Amino acid sequence: MTREQEVLLDVVIDELERAGVPFALIGAAALAVHGISRSTLDIDLLATDRRVLDASFWAALSADVERDIRRGDDTDPLAGVIRFRATGERDVDIVVGRGAWTADVVAHAEIARHHQRDVPTVRVDDLILLKLYAGGSQDRWDIEQLLARSDHAVLVEVVERSLSRLPPHAQRLWQVIRSAP
């Protein structure tokens, strides 16, 4: 993807920064920053500031940028998701997390280069926590790749210090991954 094809991402990030909303790059784009390449059709960001779920927050965006805002209900593990679309570009999704642990993930983000721009990006250990929380088969593969590319013992120790903050399904997945040959 060339720099010219990342205009939508820049527009979304510029709006978040203008409003002082902390965010971090997650998903396959964050995996790429951490040395793991896999195909993706979108770019994912994590935020916890619920203001982004209000249509008025995005009023300054061009009419050419489609926005699909979905709020989570009280039982949803997410506060919501926003998908941005523009012709000829990868979609940009903002996942709006709930709870102190997701705010900590965003706060721990480190600046990394993504398509010629410095972007707050989740750390490897926090990316593993997010993947455990999501719990899908692709997430499990992603975790295995992250563990294989890192100082395994140190990363396991760091993840396990934060594991109690995750729900039981995520903790069980970690035990499955840890006990795999």
Are 7 and 75 within one domain? yes
Q: Which domain holds residue 128?
A: 123-181
Are 132 and 115 within one domain? no
Q: Which of 122, 138, 170 is the last residue of a domain?
A: 122
Are 71 and 60 within one domain? yes
Nearest-10 crossing angle of helices 137-148, 168-179: 50
Are 77 and 9 within one domain? yes
Are 53 and 127 within one domain? no
- pLDDT greater at residue 1 or residue 65: 65
CATH number of 105's domain: 3.30.460.40
Are 112 and 93 within one domain? yes
Give CA–CA dist 113/123, Å, rounded.
13
Are 22 and 67 within one domain? yes
Are 8 and 64 within one domain? yes
The residue-averaged pLDDT of 22-47 equals: 94
Q: How many domains does the chain have?
A: 2
Give CA–CA dist 140/173, Å, rounded.
8
Are 79 and 101 within one domain? yes
pTM of this structure:
0.93
- Per-residue pLDDT tens digits for 43-92: 999 999 999 999 999 999 999 999 999 999 998 989 999 999 999 999 99
Question: Does the pLDDT value for residue 1 go beyond 50?
Answer: no
Q: Which of 91, 107, 122 is the last residue of a domain?
A: 122
Are 174 and 128 within one domain? yes
User: 140: burial class by Cβ within 10 Å (0-12, 13-18, 19+)?
Assistant: middle
Q: What's the pLDDT at 6?
A: 60
Give CA–CA dist 144/148, Å, rounded.
6
- Per-residue pLDDT tens digits for 113-157: 987 899 999 999 999 999 999 999 999 999 999 999 988 899 999
Q: Which of 84, 106, 122 is the last residue of a domain?
A: 122
Which tokens is 36 given? 């793991």
Are 108 and 157 within one domain? no
Are 113 and 143 within one domain? no
